Structure 1
Amino acid sequence: MSQQNTELEGIGKLRSGSLFMILAVLLAAIGILVIISAGMLGGMFSAASGNVSGVIASGIGLLVGIAIVILIGAIIGLIGILRIRSGFGILKSLGRDVGIGEIGTTLYLVGLIIIIIGALLTIVLIGFPILILGEIIALIGGILIGIGFYKVGEIYNEGLVKIGGILIVIPIDLINFVGFILAYVGLGKVRPLPTVAQQPLVPQVYQVGQGTIRNNGYAYITLYSSTPASIISAKIEGANIMSSAINPTVLQIGNNEVTIFFGNVQSLAPNTTYIITLTINIGGNIINISTTAVYQP
């Protein structure tokens, strides 16, 4: 699969995950409103008839009903957050700076699992503290997810996704709901970033400054190397004088102060610039480079 297809897959998972989050919030909101309305009507009827046990039963039924709706919403939200987590993970693997969103989904998942456990335990009235703990963890995760969506909007220059991310950060269900809607719409407009072909780096060795040759037969040259390399030999062009010793023979990455011994250089003209040809081995490739040095007796 090409990088662009992989990137499209990551964006698509973020978008479908946002849709599940929209459905989760919508279902929870509608369900809770319906249950509260039904509970209030049932309580009023029981109170009007003087049935105290009916009022208590109505209250317990209301709490259990809310817990069931929260449970269903949490399951749908779990599916959505898993898709969002996968989307962040794919984009992160491509080098996109969305790791904070992936961390947020981890916290959110932990929170949702705790919420589901708490919702199941409300039947015996010990699950509400667990519900609260799950909500707090999910809240922190939601904030980080919102930041992750904002970063996606920044990376792909999509304003709706950035605004959606900001709204997702705000811990109010209605605002989160709008935030995921904006993120969903914005992600539909996002396109993968253009890929830049990576050109292989060509190893380089070149002279820094100008060298000198002394009457004692030594030449001093500074060489820059982009990769480790070996100097095989050196020759002063025109005078046809070959080197008899070179130190160091192995070039390290960066600048290297190289000393070359040519022996008898009395045939050279003072204050004249000469070309010194170096034969160098770079990764098995033999190349010649030209350097310059002034004969200063």
Structure 2
Amino acid sequence: MNGQTELEGIKSIRSGVLFEIITALLVGIGIIILLTSGVLTAGLSGSAVGAFSSIVGTLIGLIVLIIIGVVIGIVGLLRIRSGFNILKATRRDVGIGGTGVTLLLVGYILMVIGALLAIVFIGIPILFIGVILAVIGQILLGIGFYRIGEIYNVGLVKVGGILVILSILTDLLGFIGYILIYVGLGRVVSNLPMATPAQMQTYYPPLTPMPQPSTQAVQVSQVGQGVLRGDGYAQFTLYTTAQVTIVSASIEGTNLQATYINPIILQPGNNNIMAYFGNISNLTPGTTYIINLTINAQGNMMNIKVSVVYQP
């Protein structure tokens, strides 16, 4: 996967979080309407007709707000789950967040069914199961957010994930958590590199390659010493005797995979390359690391080792 796909995943989660914030606001407005407009007006009204009209108007307003809030909330959860699935496809260990959203949705459905069937005895256990699934889903979702904060080294997202977990105690904590997550994901979006469509396609060999020497004659080697910076970017120079394509890059001894490489297609001669590995805070400053490159040389795959010094 490429940097653009990873960026799309973060954007999808962020937009879903915004929907959840809007849902919480609508629910809060509904509660205010219930406590102020409906109850107080009904109690102070001088006539029974006026009291009844006020209550009906309040209930209609609440129903509209609840319907709008539920729809927005469901759309938000679906977008969050889609974002987690995209990040999971880029080998980010956040699949637990998508699982949490799925359990939340199933739990909500069972809670609605159980509430509707509460008049019958069977509705009570269905409602109970729905509540349990929703609580588990909320916890897993919070863990998923926390892992995003760890991967991209954003404290706001980690704190927000913890508050989302604690929202099983009070919805206010979840509301604050979603706000922190939204702000933190904005920082992730601004830090992730943008990949152009042309760069996205360069992961595939050119359809009409230029005439090259025989595959056996292709040589690729590092020139000088590479550098790995604290922001996750590695810079190094490769010399090649023919046009080749970088397929993937990973740091030896870790699970770090490059999500962005530029350029992908190397021309004969020296090529200055930049690769993005994300959060590398667990690496040791001053240590020399080996980047394993998989290179497509006219249909034949080559493994090239590149040394870089971690200089935060």
TM-score for the superposition, normalised by structure 1: 0.55
Do the aligned residues in 2 keep the contact of 1:74 with 1:115 (CA within 8 Å)? no
Letter of the structure 2 residue corresponding to residue 103 of structure 1? T
Query: For 1:93 and 1:178, how far apart are their aligned partners in 2?
Result: 29
1:141 Cα deviation (Å)? 1.4
Query: For 2:58 and 2:111, how far apart are their aligned partners in 1?
Result: 18
Alignment size in residue pairs: 193
Do the aligned residues in 2 keep the contact of 1:22 with 1:181 (CA within 8 Å)? yes
Counterpart in the other structure of 1:174:
172
Counterpart in the other structure of 1:18:
17
Counterpart in the other structure of 2:307:
none
Counterpart in the other structure of 2:143:
147
Letter of the structure 2 residue corresponding to residue 95 of structure 1? R
Do the aligned residues in 1 keep the contact of 2:23 with 2:69 (CA within 8 Å)? yes
- Confirm whether residue 91 of structure 1 aligns to residue 87 of structure 2: yes
Do the aligned residues in 2 keep the contact of 1:78 with 1:112 (CA within 8 Å)? no
What SS does structure 2 have at the residue aligned with 1:189?
helix
Counterpart in the other structure of 1:33:
32
Letter of the structure 2 residue corresponding to residue 183 of structure 1? I
Instruction: Mark the CA change 1:107 to 1:57 in structure 2 (over 3 Å): closer, same or farther.
Output: farther
Letter of the structure 2 residue corresponding to residue 197 of structure 1? A
Residues 104-158 of structure 1: CA deviation (Å, up to 9, x unaligned):
0001112343466678x59x989x9677765553333122111100010011111
What SS does structure 2 have at the residue aligned with 1:34?
helix
Do the aligned residues in 1 keep the contact of 2:101 with 2:137 (CA within 8 Å)? yes
1:61 Cα deviation (Å)? 7.2
Q: How does 1:143-222 map to 2 (within 5 A)?
A: 143-171=139-167, 172-190=170-188, 191-192=191-192, 197-198=249-250
What SS does structure 2 have at the residue aligned with 1:95?
coil
Counterpart in the other structure of 1:108:
104
What SS does structure 1 have at the residue aligned with 2:69?
helix
What SS does structure 1 have at the residue aligned with 2:249?
coil
Unaligned runs of 5+ in 2: 193-231, 235-247, 252-312
Do the aligned residues in 1 keep the contact of 2:33 with 2:58 (CA within 8 Å)? no
Instruction: Mark the CA change 1:14 to 1:69 in structure 2 (over 3 Å): closer, same or farther.
Output: same
What SS does structure 1 have at the residue aligned with 2:187?
coil
What SS does structure 2 have at the residue aligned with 1:44?
helix
Instruction: Mark the CA change 1:84 to 1:131 in structure 2 (over 3 Å): closer, same or farther.
Output: same
1:42 Cα deviation (Å)? 3.3
Query: For 1:125 and 1:58, how far apart are their aligned partners in 2?
Result: 28
Counterpart in the other structure of 1:7:
6
1:180 Cα deviation (Å)? 0.6
Do the aligned residues in 2 keep the contact of 1:74 with 1:116 (CA within 8 Å)? no
Query: For 2:182 and 2:94, how far apart are their aligned partners in 1?
Result: 17
Q: Percent of aligned positions with the same letter in both sequences?
A: 52
Q: How does 1:196-275 map to 2 (within 5 A)?
A: 197-198=249-250
Do the aligned residues in 2 keep the contact of 1:36 with 1:62 (CA within 8 Å)? no
Query: For 1:125 and 1:174, how far apart are their aligned partners in 2?
Result: 31
Instruction: Mark the CA change 1:77 to 1:116 in structure 2 (over 3 Å): closer, same or farther.
Output: farther
What SS does structure 2 have at the residue aligned with 1:96?
coil
Residues 162-181 of structure 1: CA deviation (Å, up to 9, x unaligned):
01101111122211111011
Counterpart in the other structure of 1:286:
none
Instruction: Mark the CA change 1:78 to 1:58 in structure 2 (over 3 Å): closer, same or farther.
Output: same
Instruction: Mark the CA change 1:6 to 1:177 in structure 2 (over 3 Å): closer, same or farther.
Output: same
Instruction: Mark the CA change 1:117 to 1:63 in structure 2 (over 3 Å): closer, same or farther.
Output: farther
Unaligned runs of 5+ in 1: 200-297
Letter of the structure 1 residue corresponding to residue 157 of structure 2? V
Instruction: Mark the CA change 1:134 to 1:23 in structure 2 (over 3 Å): closer, same or farther.
Output: farther
Instruction: Mark the CA change 1:133 to 1:64 in structure 2 (over 3 Å): closer, same or farther.
Output: farther
1:38 Cα deviation (Å)? 1.5
Query: For 1:31 and 1:59, how far apart are their aligned partners in 2?
Result: 13
Counterpart in the other structure of 2:268:
none
